[in-house]
Amino acid sequence: MITKNDFNSEWWGDPVGILRDPAFFRKSAGQQKKLLKEFSWVEFRSTQIQTPALWEKLRQAGFFYADTLMNFRIALDRITGSADLQALGARSALQRPFAIKPQAIAPFKNERFNLLPGKTPERIARRYACWSNNLIKEYPGYCLSISWKNETQGWFLSRPSAEGLNLTLAMLAKGAGISGMLLYQKALLEYSRLGLRLGWASFSVRNTAVLNIYSRLGAHFLCPEYCWFWVNRK
């Protein structure tokens, strides 16, 4: 019922679990503990409405609320440009290969993994660098480096899917001289230029900057997904 999350286990350095079936919380306390103790921490994610009864079961099992992820879709072919974008460059890793080092990424302030005991800024940055480079390796034509005055300002990394383009990860570079709005707008325009029409993804509701960006760009918001953590305190 709890499966190992290979990616989270890789960047964290210990086994990490993922749980999606709320039926887990109908098990006895002993059964729950037996399954949970195999992991350093476990994330429960669900789009089901969080009723008071379920919240109480989560609390009793040792889980705590971590975040709400807002799902959305956006019409890439309706993104419009602006004069400020003309000075920016956008190249895919297929056109010009690149990799992303942890120390090059601007710190993530709205990050649920900051709630985990033992987290460090370096550990979080390592997560994003690892994730980024995996995406670049698998989908180089959809991973963009955005530049201004011949300096890298950030990256927008995506992957194709049956539902459209998954706008997986966007990051400003440390010391970037442009806004997040320009980074997102430039990247989405480039995807539109490549003939892609629909994008989708999710982001933390705590990240009001991203919420405002996607709102201005015409995103359509969908059902949220709730995230809870259990931490092994052995």
> Can you give the pLDDT of all 234 residues of the chain as single tens digits?
899 999 999 999 999 999 999 999 999 999 999 999 999 999 999 988 778 888 899 999 999 999 999 999 999 999 988 888 999 999 999 999 999 999 999 988 778 999 999 888 888 889 999 999 999 999 999 999 999 999 999 999 999 999 999 999 999 999 999 999 999 999 999 999 999 999 999 999 999 999 999 999 999 999 999 999 999 987
pTM: 0.92
Indicate the helix (H) or strand (E) that contains 182. Answer: helix 180-193
The span from the CA of 157 to the CA of 164, in Å, is 14
pLDDT at 52: 85
pLDDT at 169: 97
pLDDT at 234: 75
The span from the CA of 81 to the CA of 18, in Å, is 40
The span from the CA of 174 to the CA of 160, in Å, is 27
pLDDT at 108: 81
The span from the CA of 219 to the CA of 70, in Å, is 11
pLDDT at 111: 85
